[in-house]
Structure 1
Amino acid sequence: MLTALSIRDVVLIERLDLAFGHGLTVLTGETGAGKSILLDSLGLALGARAEAGLVRTTAEQASVTACFAPPDTHPVAAVLDEHGLAGEDEIVLRRIVTRDGRSRAFVNDHPVGVGLLRRIGTMLVEVQGQHEQMTLADPAGHAALLDAFGVPPALLTAVTRSWAAWRDAIAQLEQARSAISAAERDQEWLRHAVDELATLAPRIDEEDTLASERQRLQQSERRAEAIAAALAELTPRDRRSAGPAASLRAASRALQRLAPATQPEPIENPADPAIAALERAEEALAEAETLLTRLIADADIDPRRLEQSEERLFALRAAARKHAVAVADLPALLDTLAARLTALETGAAEIAALQQAAEQGRDHYAAAAAALSAARNSASGKLRQAVARELPPLRLDKARFLAEVSDLPETGWGAGGTDQVRFLIATNPGQSPGPLARVASGGELSRLMLAMKVVLSAGSTVPTLVFDEVDAGIGGATAAAVGDRLARVAEAVQVLVVTHSPQVAARGTAHLRVAKAASRDRTATTVDDLPPAARREEIARMLAGETISDAARAAADDLLRGQGPPQRLAV
């Protein structure tokens, strides 16, 4: 419910702080005193359109803060959690309007968009006036009102779930049909692509493996070429060339001839060290030749294998470029194309199964919707009777109210069922019932709305209702009946009512008087919480006008008698 309202610099209000309690709070005052300013201020905090004209003449900006304490289970908690705006014990809505007409909105001191502020506001407060019964006059909200009155929530849940399941089955069917249709259009290309990729048979991570193998084989080939070149330098290129080993042996033989042929005693050959070095060189050369021959024999040289690896790698990369995918994605692409191709062969069976699932989904939804329709038809009769009992005291005894439940065409079915619910009224005998907005006048619509609020208030999720002159144009017993019904509604939800009727004012549990006073060439609107004596005077004024007589005070006493002391409000 609304617990507090703080207004700063709005039109004629410079500073005003109000606190509200449970039950029925009435706001009275002479015409032009500023009651509408209070409602406009509250509307500003609830997300209504901001206008520069709301800012008090001598101020640069206006601000309104409204505090609420909704039940713990109220749906607004989910909206606050969704946007990270949850508070501890209360919800604080604040709106600031500057002189140039710009506005800022806050929820629990967090800046928000006006759209979100309005969404939260409509969940907390419903304003009803002669021109503001949008929920009642708009057929789009009639089904929800009827459901809240007398339809088990389990039926609504069943319809919502079965509708979702049916739509999901239809979506799967359409998706399968679309896939098969696309596959049929590309059937020739699809078969060629699958055959080509199946022949290529790409494997996961094959590109990396082939690239590594190619690099290894290329390195082995380069090593073998270097060894072969070195070995070629050690061996004769043809028979006519001696080669390094033969040259070493020839040099050794030439040096050996330096020793004298005949001597009585052996004479040391001066070239012996060189001959020994040549012999060692010949042995080292032979060893090197042996090692090189062994290396080239052990080398892993397979030109055909390198060629095959490169051909495979280039084929994979060419296929990837052709299909505009990475080489690593070729196996998955083959699976996808193969599945599409298989779908052409098994598509008929799959479509049949999905078609059957969709038909079953429709049957389940239709059954759940039929149960909901039956409950709505039963509830419509009870709602008609309940509203009919409230109409005569509200001077609508000749009116006939109907809650019409009719079948929608299948194109109009939805999560809310297969029904169209319309509230119709005939205000005069012999008149055919018609839509509320076209048949009922403003006053009649206000009183009809009040009658329905009496009937529907127990199922309402909005904790605060504001009635703006719902008693306009009526008096006497009818006004008393309006007051009685407002009090009954206030037993279930918090009610604020702006009224000119003393019969309505007398039923309030709290009474606020709005007045306008001039001081030092300035006019300001004030609001007073009336104690019992002042409340008596205010109701007497409403009865008698400017001159309050003892008879008016006595009549006020009669109206107040039996109502009990009003609940005091902090102002």
Structure 2
Amino acid sequence: MLRHLDIRDMLIIDRLELAFQPGLNVLTGETGAGKSILLDSLGFVLGWRGRADLVRTGAVQGEVVAEFDLPDGHPALAVLQEAGLPATDELILRRINTPEGRKTAWVNDRRVSGEVLRALSDVLVELHGQQDDKGLLDPKNHREMLDEFGGLHRLRADVATAWTTKRTAAKALSVAEQRLAAMREEEDFLRHAVAELTKLAPEPGEEAELDAKRRLMQAAEKMREDLAQAIAALGVNGAEGAMSDASRWLDGVVEHAEGRLELPMAALERALVELGEAQAGIASFAERLEFDPSELEMAEERLFALRGLARKHNVLADDLAGLAETLGDRLAALDGGEAEIAGLMRARDAANATYAEAAEKLTAARATAALKLDKAMGAELAPLKMDRAVFETRRDEAPAGPDGTDTITFTVATNPGAPSGPLNRIASGGELSRFLLALKVCLTSGQTGLTMIFDEIDRGVGGATADAVGRRLAALAEGGQVLVVTHSPQVAALGAHHWRVAKSVEKGVTFSRVDPLSDAERVDEVARMVAGDTITEAARDAARELLKR
């Protein structure tokens, strides 16, 4: 609820402080007195896009501060939390503008963007007039309005979720089908390559091992000759025999050497042991060089096969095993593609069925809500002297989407037998005001914490009709807050709180001011609205009668 509005240096307002109240707040005044400037200033602090030249001539900057009370659970609290702003029961909006058009805004002393202000504005204030600022006349908004009226949030959410699931399932199927089609284009290659790799069965490190084995076998014949000579040189006819002879010769003299030969004898024994190990190692290696000549041919053939297949697939020979696994997986995916497609088709069909069921439930609920709204509008139009008019919520088929399969249009027929059509094409100015007021009363039933502003919505009506409009506005304000800019004395007289907007010229400068009116001042203001510039006693009597209601 809007509590205070402080305006400084905006157009013809130098300083203005207003303390609004719950209920019906009425603002009256001569045409051009500044009522629109007041609304422009409120729209400015709420982030609405409007005229740019708002700063008063000669002022350094213009400033507007608006204070709101937020009851528990007010939607603005969620907006504040999402924006990371302090969320309390008091909300203070402040925005300044320079003559150059630079704008800066704060919410509870925190710097914010215009987007945050507009998000708060959507749940704080609703401005409405014959120009339909909130889109009541735009059929694009009627579906959401009907859903709000019918409390269909859960059903809408179910449809939106089902639509997302439906789209996701369709996309998954499309991607799988495209992937399968691409794999089918290389099916011959995959089958041939996998068969070739499977037959060869390459292993990591196999190339290096085969290459070493081949080189060893290629050098084996010459190596065997050298090894035989080495074995002979180390054997009994060579080093081993000579060392054994030397050992026997030393045994014959060691007892007369008085210990001087112990170390040489020990060294000789160790040498014989080392010589034996050398002979054994050489003999073992020589045995490895004994192989079937066909082994070399087989090793060379496999090595050439590995290297040829690696060149064919443009990979290293050691990577052939990994390639075989990758191509095998792709072939398995190809072979299992039909089963995958079948499963995705079932998922798509299930998602389509779920969406269709959710959309049908929403359509049925909308039909029920439409009848309820039409009945409520009929009850609202009668007191507004439009009991012969017919309001109808029309539902037509629409392409499936996240909001269902319906288009909703609010239509009217102003007289029996007359064709129905969209509000803004059928109704005249005065009729349109009353239709929109009735629609607003129906659509906002049960809403709390929203300040509604009606800018001359009573234009074009008078007498008993204006009185009926005022009474509907007063009823709408019960338990909430409504601000009405009006030229109708019948509407002004029904206000719980009354302000007069006036313009004055001081030292050649025009200023606009807004004054709260006492009971006596209200009589004169309503009398002015009845009689014009010259207020007669008869006009005052008429004003007193209006204010008694």
Same fold (TM over 0.5): yes
Q: How does 1:371-386 map to 2 (within 5 A)?
A: 371-386=361-376
Residues 86 and 292 of structure 1, relative CA distance in 2, 3 Å threshold: farther
CA contact (8 A) 1:427 1:439 kept: yes
The match for 1:27 is 27
* Range 524-533 or range 466-475, more displaced: 524-533
The match for 1:407 is 397
CA contact (8 A) 2:243 2:272 kept: no
Instruction: Give how far 1:327 is off.
Output: 10
The match for 1:340 is 333
The one-letter amino acid paired with 2:390 is R
* CA distance in structure 2 between the aligned counterparts of 1:498 and 1:302, rounded to whole angstroms: 111
* CA deviation profile, 1:531-552 (whole Å, cap 9, x unmatched): 3232233222222333333322
The one-letter amino acid paired with 1:418 is T
Residues 51 and 483 of structure 1, relative CA distance in 2, 3 Å threshold: closer
Instruction: Give how far 1:36 is off.
Output: 0.8
Report percent identity of matched pairs.
45
Residues 104 and 335 of structure 1, relative CA distance in 2, 3 Å threshold: farther
The one-letter amino acid paired with 2:474 is A
* CA distance in structure 2 between the aligned counterparts of 1:332 and 1:99, rounded to whole angstroms: 72
RMSD, aligned CA: 4.7
Instruction: Give how far 1:283 is off.
Output: 4.3
* Range 329-338 or range 473-482, more displaced: 329-338
CA contact (8 A) 1:245 1:285 kept: no
The DSSP-based 3-state class of the residue aligned with 1:54 is coil
Instruction: Give how far 1:133 is off.
Output: 4.1
The DSSP-based 3-state class of the residue aligned with 2:89 is coil
Instruction: Give how far 1:351 is off.
Output: 3.4
The match for 1:367 is 357
Instruction: Give how far 1:52 is off.
Output: 4.2
* CA distance in structure 2 between the aligned counterparts of 1:405 and 1:452, rounded to whole angstroms: 17
CA contact (8 A) 2:502 2:512 kept: yes
The match for 1:115 is 115
The one-letter amino acid paired with 1:382 is K
Q: How does 1:390-539 map to 2 (within 5 A)?
A: 390-394=380-384, 396-397=386-387, 399-408=389-398, 412-427=399-414, 430-460=417-447, 463-491=450-478, 493-539=480-526
CA contact (8 A) 2:155 2:362 kept: yes
The match for 1:184 is 184
* CA distance in structure 2 between the aligned counterparts of 1:329 and 1:108, rounded to whole angstroms: 63
The one-letter amino acid paired with 1:179 is R
Residues 518 and 359 of structure 1, relative CA distance in 2, 3 Å threshold: same
The DSSP-based 3-state class of the residue aligned with 1:413 is strand
List runs of 5+ in structure 2 lacking aligned partners. Answer: 217-222, 290-294
* CA distance in structure 1 between the aligned counterparts of 2:385 and 2:263, rounded to whole angstroms: 140
* CA distance in structure 2 between the aligned counterparts of 1:355 and 1:17, rounded to whole angstroms: 66
Instruction: Give how far 1:302 is off.
Output: 9.7
Residues 68 and 333 of structure 1, relative CA distance in 2, 3 Å threshold: farther
* CA deviation profile, 1:78-109 (whole Å, cap 9, x unmatched): 44333323522234433322221122334444
Instruction: Give how far 1:14 is off.
Output: 2.4
Residues 165 and 251 of structure 1, relative CA distance in 2, 3 Å threshold: closer
TM-score, normalised to structure 1, is 0.75
Residues 321 and 50 of structure 1, relative CA distance in 2, 3 Å threshold: farther
CA contact (8 A) 2:81 2:87 kept: no
The one-letter amino acid paired with 1:148 is E
CA contact (8 A) 1:130 1:446 kept: yes
The one-letter amino acid paired with 2:127 is V
The one-letter amino acid paired with 1:372 is L
Q: How does 1:91-110 map to 2 (within 5 A)?
A: 91-110=91-110
Residues 64 and 178 of structure 1, relative CA distance in 2, 3 Å threshold: farther
The DSSP-based 3-state class of the residue aligned with 1:135 is coil
The one-letter amino acid paired with 1:374 is A
1:355 has 2:383 as partner: no
Query: How many equivalent residue pairs?
Result: 519
* CA distance in structure 2 between the aligned counterparts of 1:6 and 1:540, rounded to whole angstroms: 29
The match for 2:82 is 82
Instruction: Give how far 1:293 is off.
Output: 6.3
Residues 287 and 539 of structure 1, relative CA distance in 2, 3 Å threshold: same
The match for 2:220 is none
Q: How does 1:2-401 map to 2 (within 5 A)?
A: 2-49=2-49, 51-150=51-150, 153-192=153-192, 194-195=194-195, 282-290=268-276, 322=315, 333=326, 336-344=329-337, 347=338, 349-394=339-384, 396-397=386-387, 399-401=389-391
CA contact (8 A) 1:23 1:493 kept: yes
The DSSP-based 3-state class of the residue aligned with 1:136 is coil
The DSSP-based 3-state class of the residue aligned with 2:136 is helix
1:557 to 528, 544, 548: 544
CA contact (8 A) 2:8 2:62 kept: yes
Instruction: Give how far 1:185 is off.
Output: 2.6
* CA distance in structure 2 between the aligned counterparts of 1:104 and 1:287, rounded to whole angstroms: 98
Residues 479 and 353 of structure 1, relative CA distance in 2, 3 Å threshold: same
Instruction: Give how far 1:148 is off.
Output: 2.9
The DSSP-based 3-state class of the residue aligned with 2:445 is helix
CA contact (8 A) 2:166 2:351 kept: yes
TM-score, normalised to structure 2, is 0.78
CA contact (8 A) 1:197 1:334 kept: no
* CA distance in structure 2 between the aligned counterparts of 1:153 and 1:431, rounded to whole angstroms: 35
The DSSP-based 3-state class of the residue aligned with 2:491 is helix
* CA distance in structure 1 between the aligned counterparts of 2:421 and 2:142, rounded to whole angstroms: 14
The DSSP-based 3-state class of the residue aligned with 2:432 is helix
The DSSP-based 3-state class of the residue aligned with 1:65 is strand
Instruction: Give how far 1:404 is off.
Output: 0.7
Instruction: Give how far 1:41 is off.
Output: 1.1
* CA deviation profile, 1:503-556 (whole Å, cap 9, x unmatched): 111212222222223334433222222232322332222223333333222222
Instruction: Give how far 1:374 is off.
Output: 3.0
Residues 322 and 396 of structure 1, relative CA distance in 2, 3 Å threshold: farther
The DSSP-based 3-state class of the residue aligned with 1:515 is strand
CA contact (8 A) 1:50 1:97 kept: no
The one-letter amino acid paired with 1:454 is V
Instruction: Give how far 1:294 is off.
Output: 7.5
The match for 2:219 is none
Instruction: Give how far 1:486 is off.
Output: 0.6
Instruction: Give how far 1:449 is off.
Output: 0.7
Residues 322 and 524 of structure 1, relative CA distance in 2, 3 Å threshold: farther
Residues 97 and 459 of structure 1, relative CA distance in 2, 3 Å threshold: same
List runs of 5+ in structure 1 lacking aligned partners. Answer: 222-227, 260-267, 563-571
